[in-house]
Chains A and B, each alone.
Chain A
């Protein structure tokens, strides 16, 4: 399942890093930022991301890391996501092996623009969040008596198009690069 998942992601030009522990993930993040010259980063505050010492990463690498709570309002947050952030980093609720899909459940800690507006989307996926098919993820998200999440996104590779002469390329309106850090290998 893990191999299938990785193959599907790399088929879509996604990069996959495998790490064992959270501090390793933080190190990997620093390396990625340096290699890709990422200076400004917007982060989600979901339960996966909270396991990473982002303040430590920021201090070590000198990159600026902001979360939704750092902004006075919606407009300020949007301006940063659209105009300034080089990369967005999010946790992943479910990784679906059948197509290398990242499933994000949006809520106050998982804003929609983090994984959408910047050129890089860096996604942190704990190994135990991997499932074989969409149905396993959907069953957990939608079979509930509580209120449904306002939005759920299935992300399979970077944003792309083939609308001009059927020539396919990545990075149309959303991220051009998708990087997945697989946690707990």
Chain B
């Protein structure tokens, strides 16, 4: 299975995957005061926004439990639901194409575009197309792909990975956006006003929407019962891509399917509240097939590409399956104490934060992603807000267990051996009270020397993960026991 994943990642060499550089990039990003400042504010106000929105449910907890139950049901019945969706979508007149991996998906879409003489496409935000590197594949074949979600548009121009699954460019300073818009998006005068920057993008992309021959979108939900695909957005760029071009290609992964419209509507409510703190996003559009012949706009042909890309393989494992419950709302990112310090770049692929830490290792294998799923404090904030019922920390623990089991050389490596020895010595010491007290006193003396605190930070070896990343607390002038003794003595003297 491991080899299978490695081979898959090689299957689309055009995507930059940097998951193995997690620590390195995280260290860099921790120094980025601009992003840090943004994340500090964002992580304060966003969870409140979400919480307020959830409170518009008569029983928020029940609403979350219901959405989690729907997602569990979807995953339990995934193969049957997919077949039903495929049949019903085909009955509606859509052409449904199932592909096994990113390479095949890219080939199919590139060929669809080539056959129709398409020069450029407009794109709605779609994480799966980020996952498989569709833009790069189109570009390599001479077809321009214009990301049209404002955030995606900016990250595309800057050639940067998404910072956040919902707001991929939220952290980018306005100065930088102004510069790149002047260079590459026909903006005339520099501006630092987000509204004016947005307007410049509107003007630039409007022309693309008007004349694009193909619109490519993702899918938020695929309703099995009716064969309908649903997109959720605020900007109108997805509706544009589904209204103006003659050909629509909507790309989804297996797990987007939901049983029926009732379930879809409940998920919609929970998704929007979790994602942006809205009751409903500005636009929700539901397509059941291409336009009818007498309609003047809308796509003449609708292709729905169902991408597997390793998912049916991970579906075989009952524990890993839980990852497929995710509905990509991004709520887990906004509450994660790790994400809200380092931002999205260190995660190294399309998916960041806890949801990425769950999905990415299952898709790319544990070797290249071990730093990813170990970057967790086990606080469980992600699990508490998750509308899909995913227990992220438990998944990470399971990954770690499996990683250990899979290690080529069983037993401890040198570093782990030293740590183990340390515990043996510690155990010996604490069972000898006098010796322990003496050691503790000496250690405290040593730690309170200012000359020692800096060098301590630079200690290498097995303890460096503790000493490098945090400052040791300054020991109090008296221990509790010394203090107690003094107190008792004072009492006695009186």
User: Residues on A close to B: CB < 8 A?
Assistant: 8, 12, 68, 71, 74, 77-79, 81-83, 98-99, 101, 106-108, 111-113, 116-117, 134-135, 138, 142, 147-167, 169, 171-175
Contact = CB atoms under 8 A, between A and B. Distances in A.
Contacts, number: 185
26 contacts: A74-B296, A98-B279, A107-B292, A107-B295, A138-B265, A147-B292, A150-B289, A150-B290, A151-B285, A152-B288, A154-B283, A156-B280, A158-B282, A159-B283, A162-B167, A163-B149, A163-B154, A163-B168, A163-B198, A164-B174, A164-B177, A172-B237, A173-B237, A174-B236, A174-B283, A175-B236
Interface stretch (B202-210, B357-365, B385-393, B394-402): B202-210
Interface stretch (B59-67, B73-81, B132-140, B240-248): B240-248
A149 B93 CA distance: 11
Contacts of A117: 240
A164 B197 contact: yes
Interface in B183-221: 194-195, 197-199, 201-202, 205-206, 209-210
B376 to A, nearest CB: 25
Given A156-B280, A156-B281, A150 B292 contact: yes
A138 B266 CA distance: 12
Contacts of A71: 296
A165 B41 CA distance: 11
Interface in B126-154: 148-151, 154
A161 B198 contact: yes
Contacts of B206: 82, 173
A134 B287 CA distance: 16
Interface in B370-416: none
B235 A159 contact: yes
Interface string B152-177: 00100000000000011110101001
Contacts of B151: 161, 163-164
B297 A113 contact: yes
B38 A165 contact: yes
B262 interface: yes
A156 B282 contact: yes
B92 A148 contact: yes
A108 B296 contact: yes
Contact of B298 (A148, A150, A160): A150
B338 interface: no
Given A116-B240, A163-B169, A165-B38, A150 B285 contact: no
Contact of A150 (B194, B226, B295): B295
B284 interface: yes
Contact of B198 (A149, A152, A169, A175): A169
Contacts of B265: 134-135, 138
Given A150-B291, A150-B298, A101 B169 contact: no
B264 to A, nearest CB: 8
B295 A106 contact: yes
A183 B130 CA distance: 45
Contact of A77 (B235, B240, B281, B297): B297
